Amino acid sequence: MNAMIRTGLALISIALSAMILYFAYTSDTVALIAQSFGAAVVAILIAITAFLLISPLLKDRLLHDPNDPDKIGMFVKVGTGRSVAIDFGGNYYYDIDGDQDGPKVSSALFGLWMLYKQYIWNTLHLHVYVPYFTVPKTYDLPRYRVREEDGKRIYKVVSETDEGYYSNHVRTAPFTWNFEFAGADIETIPYTVKGSAQVMIDKEKVREALYLTESWNVLLDQALNSVTRTVVRSKVTIDEVVGAIQKTLWAKPKPKETTAEEIASLVANLIFEGVKGYKFDESAPGEFAGKKLADLGIIVLRVDITDFEDELSEKEREQLRASALGRQEGRARDLAGQGIAKEQAHMATVLKKLEPDLREAILSNRALVDAVDKGGSVETLITALIGNMRK
């Protein structure tokens, strides 16, 4: 019985509400409000449409500037070989590939938004993003710029006050990443290693490069720094970097000097292989723990070493070079002594096989003995002597 009463009361309430709404809607006041609201909506739509149509004229004001984060924008330039990640509330939303010929496809607002994006592309060759709600991902990009000065490569750090310190894109085509690592010890002598790497960001892993890491360039430098120090410490000697001859070459019959270019090439190849296999610490915080650079979209194509610069005073540098060259000369004397001893041993073998009279004649010839002592050509001298004796 109570359920029936509650149901009846509910029906009566619904009916009364419907009647009140009907009379309210048909009243002149509500009709006027509805007409005013409709007119306002139409005016807003007309204003928005007019703004969108003239927006190309406001290109400079609406173009995203990574150096001015407070600037309101809605256009972004994405060059060839680059990609831009669009951020929504601090999270990856989508990315724009600069290699694509045209705007990114969208079905928002029943396709009307796509019409506007195509309009801006045809007019300005720029991409559109929704202002206030989305923004191109911007990050710090400290790095080295290199210039030639008096025949020497000068590495200059791009600091926060320099143009280009902030970036709103990643490069998906190969580019040069310069590096300079100080304090790389070679047999306890501190050296600065300068070089460059050819790098590109995998366009399929833009999210990983910009969102799984604090900054992809920080991880790249971390890997290069770690591997470079390990290679230099374990594979390079002082003799090599000051232009002396490698110790291992002295065991060969014809010693060959290893040039600075050859040493740099060898070190660069070792660093390149090391960087490709480098893994971040499993216990490191963040999603990049235990991953390789390539897993994060950072592809290293090549490494070049341009210079080893010692961190010594001029006096210390002279002492270091003198010591290295002294070791080189000492090994040269050792090699020469080995050659003379070898010739003398060969001479003794030859003499044993000769007739007593001929052997006595050879030993009594002072010029021949002196030549042998100095490592001369035994075979040539003996042949000449025998020829003279038989005349």
Token couple for 333: 């004397």
Q: What is the CATH number of the domain that holds 190?
A: 3.30.479.30
Angstrom distances, CA of residue 192 to CA of 303, 310, 389: 16, 6, 66
Same-domain pairing of 104 and 202: no
Token couple for 209: 């490069």
Phi, psi of 128 (to 5 degrees): -110, 140
Q: Does the structure show a pLDDT above 50 at 47?
A: yes
Same-domain pairing of 376 and 287: no
Same-domain pairing of 35 and 148: no
Same-domain pairing of 186 and 301: yes
Q: List the Cα angle 123/128/129 in 5-degree steps.
A: 170
Same-domain pairing of 130 and 172: no
End-of-domain residue from the set 250, 283, 311: 311
Same-domain pairing of 146 and 289: yes
Contacts of 277 (CB under 8 A, 6+ apart): 292
Token couple for 248: 């291992």
End-of-domain residue from the set 96, 116, 136: 136
Give the pLDDT of residue 380. 47
Contacts of 346 (CB under 8 A, 6+ apart): 378
Same-domain pairing of 256 and 348: no
Contacts of 317 (CB under 8 A, 6+ apart): 310
Same-domain pairing of 226 and 131: no
Question: Range of 16's domain?
Answer: 2-55
Global confidence as pTM? 0.69
Same-domain pairing of 132 and 146: no
Same-domain pairing of 203 and 252: yes
Q: Does the structure show a pLDDT above 80 at 265?
A: yes
**Number of domain units in the chain:** 4
Lowest-confidence pick of 3-7, 19-23, 30-34, 206-210: 3-7
End-of-domain residue from the set 276, 311, 346: 311
Q: What is the DSSP string of 36-52?
A: HHHHHHHHHHHHHHHHH
Same-domain pairing of 336 and 260: no
Give the pLDDT of residue 246. 40
With bands split at pLDDT 50, 70 and 90, how would you rate the model's confidence at 251? very low
Phi, psi of 80 (to 5 degrees): -60, 135
